[in-house]
């Protein structure tokens, strides 16, 4: 990308909470905040000594526009400086209000959605020559503005009904993998793999009304892999950044950390055996499938590891728990592991496998479905900017270990899920 001049603008939500039933126009609160930065600044619109612009935007809320920047680091630093400046104005503004007999607290929120789910509040700006054809620029930028929401998201966990209508949502910073509690009305959510420094917490959400019940601190960076013990009392969370697993008791959010020996693993995703005996973790950088004994619920004990082909990403047990299939994203292969001996028994390859990512067992227990990203970037290139083809879902007959179906599903096919069957899937048999 060519070096360019750009900036960032943030709208801030503003609330005054009076110690009493007093109506106060928000313009007055905002005026005192501005006065803390620039005395006698009403009307509220001024350039600051650091080159930023601070002003009252339409809708009576403060907006901070960074000075012009030519690199991302400077942009982030100036954006954070805007937060600190607004925070520093609050004590003086509250004091001025108290002098007028209006005691209370002012709250400023940096947000990107309102209570109705509408997105707003933050956008970039670019420096352009005035002689550039504006309509040509518009023609190129509109697709970018529309599609970037697909890649970056808005920090929400959504609940959809069977007609794909949104019926609930929860605000959450960089949500990632999710796990359903098999016995309770709970959804457990970790953090996105593409987030470099996400909160060190997992979320507990009540599914029926999509209420965020708790965010549990697991103490390690980049919590990503997640699974719930079939007995329903514990959730297991794995770190992308360090060799640790958190065992979280769901009844009271008590956390126990388990250190994992060996090289740097990058614990990518978990799988739990149907009988609840084994917890598997893919080590995408150590090229290992790590096996933990969880017979003692909530106390994973390392048992052994099984070498993989290259870049193990996700794994899944067959319905009878006798085999495990593992997607190996970096080597375009799916490995098969025998549970009785914990040894590799086969490697399935073919042109259909192009960065195999997710894997799920079909409800009838006869096939595994594998998603294929079809991207030219490496395992941790999550932007989707290097497509080599359309993403697919490929079915593998478990009995024959042969591909028996392929469905194009569109750009960057990654995570997969399937409805939980009413009864345990039968043992694999020859596919039709």
Can you give the CATH number for the domain in which 424 is found?
A: 2.130.10.10
112: left (phi over 0), alpha (psi -120 to 50) or beta: alpha
Q: C-alpha angle with apex 111: 104 to 151, nearest 5 degrees?
A: 170
Same structural domain, 205 and 240: yes
Same structural domain, 184 and 139: no
The predicted structure's pLDDT at residue 170: 92
Same structural domain, 188 and 255: yes
Q: Which two tokens stand for residue 369?
A: 């479905």
Separation of alpha carbons 162 and 156, rounded Å: 19
- Please say which residue of 151, 186, 221 terminates a domain: 151
Instruction: Tell me which residue of 317, 325, 369 sits closest to 344, measured CA to CA.
Output: 325
What is the count of structural domains for the chain? 3
Same structural domain, 295 and 333: no
Separation of alpha carbons 137 and 211, rounded Å: 42
The predicted structure's pLDDT at residue 360: 96
Judge whether 376 lies within some domain: yes
Cα–chain-centroid distance for residue 258? 23
Same structural domain, 230 and 129: no
Same structural domain, 194 and 111: no
3-state class (DSSP) for residue 394: strand
The predicted structure's pLDDT at residue 40: 63
Contact 237, 300 (CB under 8 A): no
Strand 323-328 and strand 312-317: the pairing is antiparallel
Same structural domain, 406 and 364: yes
Structural domain of residue 104, as residue ranges?
6-151
Judge whether 198 lies within some domain: yes
DSSP letter assigned to residue 70: S
Judge whether 165 lies within some domain: no
Judge whether 285 lies within some domain: no
The string of DSSP codes covering 2-17 is ----EEEEEEEEEEEE
Judge whether 1 lies within some domain: no
The predicted structure's pLDDT at residue 34: 77
Same structural domain, 269 and 333: no
Judge whether 37 lies within some domain: yes
Same structural domain, 248 and 357: no
The predicted structure's pLDDT at residue 215: 95
The predicted structure's pLDDT at residue 140: 80
Judge whether 50 lies within some domain: yes
Same structural domain, 329 and 421: yes
Same structural domain, 22 and 125: yes
Same structural domain, 131 and 225: no
Task: Tell me the pLDDT of the chain (432 aa) as tens digits.
Answer: 568 888 999 888 777 777 755 556 677 777 778 776 766 655 567 788 889 988 877 667 788 899 999 988 999 999 999 989 888 888 888 888 888 888 888 888 776 555 555 555 778 888 888 888 888 888 888 887 777 665 566 688 999 998 988 899 998 988 999 999 988 999 999 999 887 788 999 999 999 999 999 999 999 999 999 999 999 899 999 999 999 999 999 999 999 999 999 999 999 999 999 999 999 999 999 999 999 999 999 999 999 999 999 999 999 999 999 999 999 999 999 999 999 999 999 999 999 999 999 999 999 999 999 999 998 766 666 666 678 898 999 999 999 999 999 999 988 899 888 877 667 777 777 776
Q: For the chain, what percentages of helix, strand and coil (3-state, to nearest 5) are there?
A: 15, 40, 45
List phi, psi (to 5°) of 309. Answer: -75, -45
- Please say which residue of 151, 179, 195 terminates a domain: 151
Judge whether 215 lies within some domain: yes
Q: What is the pTM of this model?
A: 0.70
């Amino acid at each position: 990308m060519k070096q360019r001049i750009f900036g960032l603008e943030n709208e801030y939500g503003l609330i005054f909470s009076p110690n009493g039933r007093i109506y106060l126009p928000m313009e007055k609160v905002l005026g005192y905040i501005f006065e803390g930065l620039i005395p006698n600044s009403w009307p509220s619109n001024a350039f600051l000594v650091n080159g930023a612009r601070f002003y009252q935007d339409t809708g009576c809320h403060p907006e901070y526009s960074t000075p012009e920047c030519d690199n991302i680091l400077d942009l982030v630093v100036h954006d954070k400086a805007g937060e600190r400046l607004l925070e520093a104005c609050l004590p003086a503004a509250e004091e001025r209000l108290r002098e007028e007999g209006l005691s209370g607290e002012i709250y400023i929120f940096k947000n990107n959605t309102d209570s109705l789910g509408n997105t707003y509040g933050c956008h970039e700006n670019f420096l352009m020559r005035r002689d550039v054809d504006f309509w040509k620029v518009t023609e190129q930028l509109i697709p970018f503005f529309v599609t970037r929401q697909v890649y970056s998201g808005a920090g929400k966990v959504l609940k959809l009904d069977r007609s794909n209508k949104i019926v609930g949502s929860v605000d959450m910073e960089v949500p990632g993998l999710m796990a359903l509690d098999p016995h309770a009305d709970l959804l457990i959510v970790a953090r996105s793999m593409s987030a470099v420094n996400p909160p060190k917490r997992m979320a507990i959400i009540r599914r029926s009304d999509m209420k965020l019940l708790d965010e549990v601190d697991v103490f390690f960076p980049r919590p990503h892999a997640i699974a719930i013990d079939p007995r329903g009392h514990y959730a297991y969370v794995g770190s992308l950044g360090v060799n640790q697993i958190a065992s979280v008791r769901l009844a009271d959010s008590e956390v126990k950390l388990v250190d994992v020996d060996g090289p740097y693993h990058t614990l990518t995703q978990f799988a739990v055996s149907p009988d609840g005996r084994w917890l598997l973790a893919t080590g995408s950088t150590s090229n290992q499938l790590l096996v933990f004994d969880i017979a003692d619920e909530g106390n994973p004990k390392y048992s052994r590891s099984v070498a993989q082909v290259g870049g193990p990403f996700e794994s899944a047990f067959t319905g009878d728990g006798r085999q495990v299939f593992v997607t190996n994203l970096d080597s375009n292969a799916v490995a098969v592991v025998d549970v009785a001996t914990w040894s590799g028994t086969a490697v399935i390859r073919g042109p259909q496998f192009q960065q195999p990512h997710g894997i799920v067992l079909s409800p009838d227990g006869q096939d595994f479905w594998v998603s294929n990203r079809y991207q030219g970037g490496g395992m941790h290139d999550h932007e989707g900017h290097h497509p080599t083809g359309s993403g697919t879902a490929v079915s593998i007959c478990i009995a024959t270990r042969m591909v028996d179906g392929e469905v194009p599903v569109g750009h960057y096919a990654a995570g997969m899920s399937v409805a939980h069957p009413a009864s345990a899937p039968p043992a694999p048999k020859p596919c039709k």
